[in-house]
Structure 1
Amino acid sequence: MQYSFRLAEILGHVPDPRKRPGTVKAIVEYTGLDRHQVSALLKNEVKYIPLKALSRLCDYLVEHGYVTADQLPGALFAVEPENFWELLARRQKVEMCLGVRRATGAELPHGSWLVASDSLLMGELLNGISTLGGTAKMQSTEANEFNSPQRPHPELLKQSLVWSPADDNVDEMRSRSHAVYEDFVESTSDRALIGLGSVKSNSVIELIVSNTFDCDPFVNQRYVDDPSLRSCPFMLRYRDEERQPES
């Protein structure tokens, strides 16, 4: 797993030799850090940072209103996306959740099906996790006692199915989704939950997103006074003739 330092992103700092906004100078004067160290932090070129320096940077960001104290120090770090497959492969447990659609009034399980694109996506995920996105064979790894390469892989792969939202199964859909999500949250292993599809087909994604952005699931925020007051920073738009998610 590889982390990057997001100081420049938080400050909105864009290095430009033609402009000198004074960012480095302001941080140096407030924190007492070395000018070259601050410059390296802004360029994400440092290999380590002392806790004292990290504390002073956090104080600077809070006092100048860039972030709130409860967001730090986590807001300063990000996981690099190129190690996405390894990030999943190193989890002890990986759970994939898919939404199951069913025809109105159809008897179970004959009238139920999975969307083909979700099934294909699950296959791609399984392949990516097991091969580290196709890069595992290019990595030099130590051999074990059976002379086979050691690769990170989950100890447990689990598939969960939930009902896709429909007009005639709202209570059943929510009950099943909450059960799957709460079962994952309550487990104590090093784990990952992947919701396949979208909120239109998989309501567990609704719970994942609402928990991430600290808002209520299945609640529409279109009537807030200002768009900036919405809890979720993105919007999903569906065709008018399709069933619209409640949120």
Structure 2
Amino acid sequence: MLSITDLHVSYGGIKALRGIDINIEENKIVTLIGANGAGKSSTLRAIMGLIKIDEGKIKYDDEDLTNHKTMDIVKKGIVLVPEGRKVFVNLSVEENLILGAYTRNDKAGINKDIEEIYKLFPRLKERSWQKAGTLSGGEQQMLAVGRALMIKPKVLMMDEPSLGLAPLLVKDIFDIIKEIHSQGNTILLVEQNAKKALEIADYGYVLETGRLVLEGEGQKLLRDERVKEAYLGEAK
């Protein structure tokens, strides 16, 4: 469905990605794990056309999307929930959701989908009139996910969705990811909470300083001694 081949990205003279290959199959949860600076967010930003690619190819259903404009990539159904939520703080919850549907012009469908988002996130319905900037961190994360779903994505990419959240809310966010996946969505998940990410992932990739060092089924990586020691806080 979405494939990345020999991807190289640099910022100035610093290499962020050094020839990685990733494949995201339809209706799967795929996760990228690794330490800060490993290249996880750079991978998502490259897919979305937010940074220029030095070398490599990004294909979606065999169509080359390498260095396409972000708007064109979104129109293909590839959507990013960015790190740090990035909600429109001075707009209401509902206005944020409406803006999420900016590529659409089916008003009845948009209204229907807003109600579906409210079913998925009842707290957002309770706060539909409230400015997004007054929401808690967990509620803002729910809004960021809901806003992305308004585009009706085929591939939903999420950058550190649990970052900065209390443990109980982290569980809620991962439950929501599983629910979204159960509705037929393909998900590419970047997470520092490697244990939680691998527990729900069909497949995982481990990045270190811009290179892929391990890959495999999520449950297999959970049992890998190298992953346990480096990312799960478990000694050999």
Answer whether TM exceeds 0.5 for this pair.
no
- Larger relative contact order (C-alpha < 8 A, sep ≥ 6)? 2
Q: What TM-score, normalized to structure 2? A: 0.24
Instruction: Give the greater-gyration-radius structure (CA).
Output: 1
TM superposition score normalised by structure 1: 0.24
